[in-house]
Amino acid sequence: MTKRNKIIYWVATGWLALGMVSTGIVQLIKMKEEVDMMTHLGYPIYFLTIIGAWKMLGVAAVLVPKFPLVKEWAYAGFFFAMSGAVFSHLAIGDSAKELFGPILLLILTAVSWYFRPATRRLPTEKSFQLIHEQHES
């Protein structure tokens, strides 16, 4: 991994983690603005607890070394949550201002996932073949 790619990964991942933790906290504590937003979007308030808790667990999964399969799940969860937020705001006709946060977190999710180091990726079939060939020789 080049130094440039490593910097891109850690900057995107740091901002992603900060964004997910900060929004997760306000969702878990059911801050008035979050409750109002969920009501505005038509979701039940208990949804805040679910999303907030999953965000916290997802951040831990992305930041902790190893466990590449859990990282893939976390990235997928972030992608689904943020794309769902974007479409929810679009569906009720919210302004572009309401889309900024979810779109930014969606982009950070994609950038962090794309630039993640090999040690944080799932092994590919090709790498399994290489390992198998090394054990045979």
Q: Give the model confidence (pLDDT) of 2-31 as tens digits.
A: 999 999 999 999 999 999 999 999 999 999
Q: Is the pLDDT of residue 131 over 80?
A: no
Other CB atoms within 10 A of residue 84 CB: 14
d(CA 14, CA 108): 9
Which tokens sit at 2? 């080049």
Residues 6+ apart with CB under 8 A from 38: 44, 45, 47, 48
Tell me if 102 sits within 8 A of 85, measured CB to CB. Answer: yes
Using only C-alpha atoms, the chain has a radius of gyration, in whole angstroms, of 18
Q: Would you mind telling me the total number of residues written for the chain in this entry?
A: 137
Phi then psi dihedrals of residue 24, to 5 deg: -65, -40
- Per the prediction, the chain carries an average pLDDT of 92
Tell me if 106 sits within 8 A of 82, measured CB to CB. Answer: yes
Q: Is the pLDDT of residue 129 over 70?
A: no
How many domains are there within the chain? 1
Half-sphere exposure in the Cβ direction for 74 (13 Å, CA): 26
Q: Domain limits at 53? A: 3-136
pTM of the model: 0.87
Question: How does pLDDT run across 43-98, given as a tens digit for each residue?
Answer: 999 999 999 999 999 999 999 999 999 999 999 999 999 999 999 999 999 999 99
With cut-offs at 50, 70 and 90, classify the pLDDT of residue 124.
confident
